Chain A
Amino acid sequence: MVFNLFKREKQSNGEGKPEPAANSIADLLKFIVVRLVDNPDDVDVSEVEGERNTILELKVNDEDMGKVIGKKGRIIKSLRIVLRAAAIHEGKSISIELVN
């Protein structure tokens, strides 16, 4: 009886939890960035494991730098906010670095 109750509780907890993301955070970043730039083939995202968090290194064509950064850094700021939210969902901590 007790065992059954425990089991049921565990099941309902499982249902309530958010679905784990199907793809990794790096894929999500790439998914967004290729839709922002003129040269999607030059977009490259690499994951570097840091001490505390994962660093996503984003490489884009020099011509597309402005597109990824946006006016007053609006786009890159938004990217960081959204990606961080998605990473929390996965129980990770990330930071994005734009390298050229």
Chain B
Amino acid sequence: MLYVDEVASSEEEAIETALRKLRLDRKDITVRSVEEVDNGVKVRIEAVRSRGQEATDLLTDLLRRIGIKSELFYIESLDKVLINVKGVHLGLIIGKSGSTLEALEALLCAMHNRSYTWYKPIVINPGGYRENKHKALKTLVKRAVEAAGNGEKVSLPIMRQRDRKQVHQIIKEFPGFKSRSFGDDNDRRVFIYQAAEDEIGPADGLTEVEYLPTEDPDQTVYNDNTHTAIS
């Protein structure tokens, strides 16, 4: 079961913080130990209810009703529940570029989180799909970076929000290159380009995250069709 060690001025205060971290309610936890320390009390709070188990049971039931025979095992951390699905015909719940999976996740999240005060995201990983997707994106970014080497703007295919986010993270491994998303909701794609000299961030390749709203008129500059498309 999940637990947290919390140091606060009073036991009540420590429990309050722990509940938020564990994303559980008062009735779902137990206080394991209370210890006096210099600046207050150190309390170990343990969960007696597993959100991971509950979400997994719900997904098992749901998949059985959809008609998929599968085996599920979950990994629960403080910030999310990851459910690995093993079975056959998992393509059915993944769908085209993960569309069905995204929908299934949204429904599972909504069903599961309804009865809790704190929201906890659930990630479904059918048959190692997430790892494969990450690998594929990495290859794609690598190719895009090579193409962007001569100063061209390179556009990637239209992607879902989750994939775009991953691309923005992967690009940090390539110092001197930057990524930005442009376009409307269903037509949003990532552009990769060489950062100008003064734009290059710290030596470790971490550049500042930039936020640009879609309605920014400046984006038209990037829609000039002079970029190379990569698919």
User: A65-86 CB contact bits vs B (8 Å, 1 = yes)?
Assistant: 0000010001101111110011
User: A19-63 CB contact bits vs B (8 Å, 1 = yes)?
Assistant: 111110001100110011000000000000000000000000000
Pairwise interchain contact A77-B67, C-beta atoms closer than 8 A: no
A21-B66, A78-B103, A82-B104 are contacts. A35–B92 as well, Cβ < 8 Å?
Answer: no
Residue A14 CB within 8 A of the other chain: no
> Which residues in A have their C-beta under 8 angstroms from that of B93?
85
Nearest A-chain residue to B95, judged by Cβ: A85
A58 to chain B, nearest CB (A): 14
Pairwise interchain contact A82-B107, C-beta atoms closer than 8 A: yes
Residue A97 CB within 8 A of the other chain: no
Which of A35, A36, A79 gathers the greatest number of chain B CB atoms within 10 Å?
A: A35
> Which residues in A have their C-beta under 8 angstroms from that of B110?
36, 70, 75
The CA of A70 and the CA of B114, in the complex, are separated in Å by 12
Which of B58, B69, B100 contacts A82 (CB under 8 A)?
Answer: B100
Which of A32, A36, A81, A82 gathers the greatest number of chain B CB atoms within 10 Å?
A: A82
Pairwise interchain contact B92-A18, C-beta atoms closer than 8 A: yes
Nearest B-chain residue to A21, judged by Cβ: B67
Pairwise interchain contact A19-B67, C-beta atoms closer than 8 A: yes
The CA of A50 and the CA of B103, in the complex, are separated in Å by 25
> Which residues in A have their C-beta under 8 angstroms from that of B103?
77-82
> Which residues in A have their C-beta under 8 angstroms from that of B67?
18-22, 86, 89-90
A35-B114, A81-B100, A82-B100 are contacts. A23–B106 as well, Cβ < 8 Å?
Answer: no
B230 to chain A, nearest CB (A): 27
Which of B65, B92, B100 contacts A28 (CB under 8 A)?
Answer: B65
User: B53-76 CB contact bits vs A (8 Å, 1 = yes)?
Assistant: 000001001101111110000000
> Which residues in A have their C-beta under 8 angstroms from that of B58?
35
> Which residues in B have their C-beta under 8 angstroms from that of A78?
102-104, 106-107
> Which residues in A have their C-beta under 8 angstroms from that of B62?
31-32
B126 to chain A, nearest CB (A): 12
> Which residues in B have their C-beta under 8 angstroms from that of A77?
103
Sorting the interface of chain A by its residue count into under 10, 10 to 19, 20 to 34 or 35 or more gives: 20 to 34
Which of B69, B102, B103, B111 gathers the greatest number of chain A CB atoms within 10 Å?
A: B103
Pairwise interchain contact A27-B92, C-beta atoms closer than 8 A: no
Pairwise interchain contact A81-B99, C-beta atoms closer than 8 A: yes
B15 to chain A, nearest CB (A): 28
The CA of A20 and the CA of B89, in the complex, are separated in Å by 12
Pairwise interchain contact A85-B66, C-beta atoms closer than 8 A: yes
The CA of A16 and the CA of B88, in the complex, are separated in Å by 9
Q: In chain B, residues 104-119, which have Cβ atoms closer than 8 Å to a Cβ of chain A?
A: 104, 106-107, 110-111, 114
The CA of A63 and the CA of B174, in the complex, are separated in Å by 50
A95 to chain B, nearest CB (A): 15
B86 to chain A, nearest CB (A): 15
> Which residues in A have their C-beta under 8 angstroms from that of B68?
18-19
Nearest B-chain residue to A27, judged by Cβ: B65
> Which residues in B have their C-beta under 8 angstroms from that of A21?
65-67
B95 to chain A, nearest CB (A): 6
> Which residues in A have their C-beta under 8 angstroms from that of B95?
81, 85
